Amino acid sequence: MNIGAALKTRRGRIILLVVVLATVLLCGVGVFGGEELPVISLAAEDIPLPFSVPVFGNHIPNTLPSTWLTMIILILIALAYNRSLRKDGPPSRIRIAVEALAEVMLDFMENAVGEKARLFFPLVATFFLFIAVSNWCGILPGFGSVGVYAVHHGAPAEHVDDEHAEEVASTEHEEEGGHENLALVPFFRSANAHLSTTLALALISVAAAQYFGFRALGISYLDKYFNFRASSPKPDPATQKGLEGIISKMARGMEILINGIVGLLEIILEALKVLPFSFRLFGNIFAGEVLLFVVSYLFAFVFPLIFLGLELFVGLIQGLIFAMLTLVFFSIATTSHHGEEH
Amino acid sequence: MWPEGVESVKIAATALTIMFGVIFPAFSIGWIGSKAMEAIGRNPEASGGILTSMILAAALAEAIAIYALVVALAIKFA
């Protein structure tokens, strides 16, 4: 069957359209009213463990295995590149690929910030690679679908009749908790769909900006925050007396005060930067996950492809945005505060 | 048919949150895009830098819509 030839005739086009539509509709509609919608919870679900681990206790959050998977992938690529460096002869494919990727990222950063890109390159490139790879791992098959039935804090408890609810609640507190909210706890969940992961990345980003600022400017990096000075020079007491002197001193005093308050506000703003960073990444990835769950519940076969493609794109773009914003904030932190305006 | 009490308020709150939360970010991303295109039209050589700045600004504007989405999801699912 030659699709190219079929597309040329009107009859062929109509038949092709009918066949494609029929396939899509028949495959998709067949699972309406099938299995139940997976339980979607904002917080990461806990995988119960038969043993106890130091920080978490009897369970680990199910985004942790996804983080490990991302780390394993990146570390394996790095090790393979390292091994390929020791070979003689023409460069192998892994070496060409990794070096091309690094060159593209470095070029992009040099276009954005100039010479300092070499200083920022390791951290920013790591942010980009980690976020992009972990987002892409989140759409692998098995994420969100393979798991164990366990107590799931987001699951709705079994429906008790309204008249009996108060009696049950008051007398059988403990029993109600264990029995009824059993749901599927997936072993893997997209790593950035947990606010802890994104918060950690955001904290590292903001802390690293402060570190780079101190490293580049020394202690005078604090001039950005404690800026108690004015643009006009201190008035000489001999030349300015009387009303003129008083007004100019007052104006200078006001300027110092306002600059100081703005500087202190900068500290608060800098700390607040953590919130948009973490929530942007978390919101995008979690919303994508919810979208994929719902669309896979409605249509089993063809339509989820579109949304998987969207998730592929969004995952990459979010990594890019996080890295770019981090780079911009690093660059702002390392430029000298004075010399621009005064 | 509709759930009683808090459940129905939760559903209404979810829908209204996301409804009103994305209006202004949608406008702002459109404005950013249109200004960027004007700038590229005036100076096609600088289109690389303009594109980067546009994507940066669009991401910052989109983050506001994402906050609304996170609040809506938090109301619904937590």
- pLDDT tens profile A320-333: 999 999 998 999 88
**How close does chain A come to B15, measured CA to CA in Å?**
15
Spatial distance between the Cα atoms of A303 and A121, rounded to a whole number of angstroms: 39
Residue from A37, A153, A284 to probe the interface with B (highest B Cβ count within 10 Å): A284
Which residues does chain A have within 8 Å of residue B55's beta carbon, measured at their own beta carbons? 320-321, 324
Tokens of A184: 């599927």
Q: Which sequence spans correspond to the domains of chain A?
A: 34-146+187-334
Indicate whether A3 pLDDT > 80.
no
User: Is the Cβ–Cβ distance between A155 and A40 less than 8 Å?
Assistant: no
Level-2 CATH architecture, domain B6-77 = Up-down Bundle (1.20)
- Which amino acid, A70? T
User: Is the Cβ–Cβ distance between A307 and A295 less than 8 Å?
Assistant: yes
Q: What DSSP string describes A117-162?
A: HHHHHHHHHHHHHHHHHHHHHTTSTTTTTSEEEEE-TTSPPPPPPH
CA B78, A317, A268, A212: dihedral to nearest 10 degrees? 130
Residue from B22, B51, B56, B60 to probe the interface with A (highest A Cβ count within 10 Å): B56
B52·A111 Cβ contact <8 A: yes
User: Is the Cβ–Cβ distance between A227 and A102 less than 8 Å?
Assistant: no
Q: Which residue of A has its CA nearest to B52?
A: A112
pLDDT interval class at A337 (50, 70, 90): low
With 0.90 as the threshold, say if the pTM is over it: no
Residue B11, C-beta contacts closer than 8 angstroms, at least 6 positions apart: B3, B76
| ipTM of the prediction | 0.82
Spatial distance between the Cα atoms of A204 and A119, rounded to a whole number of angstroms: 16
Alpha-carbon radius of gyration of chain A: 29
CA-based nearest residue to A280, from B63, B24, B12:
B63
Chain B neighbours among A 138-167 (CB < 8 Å)?
Answer: 154
**How close does chain A come to B77, measured CA to CA in Å?**
5
The proportion of chain A whose per-residue pLDDT surpasses 70, expressed as a percent, equals 84
Indicate whether A230 pLDDT > 90.
no
Q: What is the pLDDT of residue A176?
A: 42
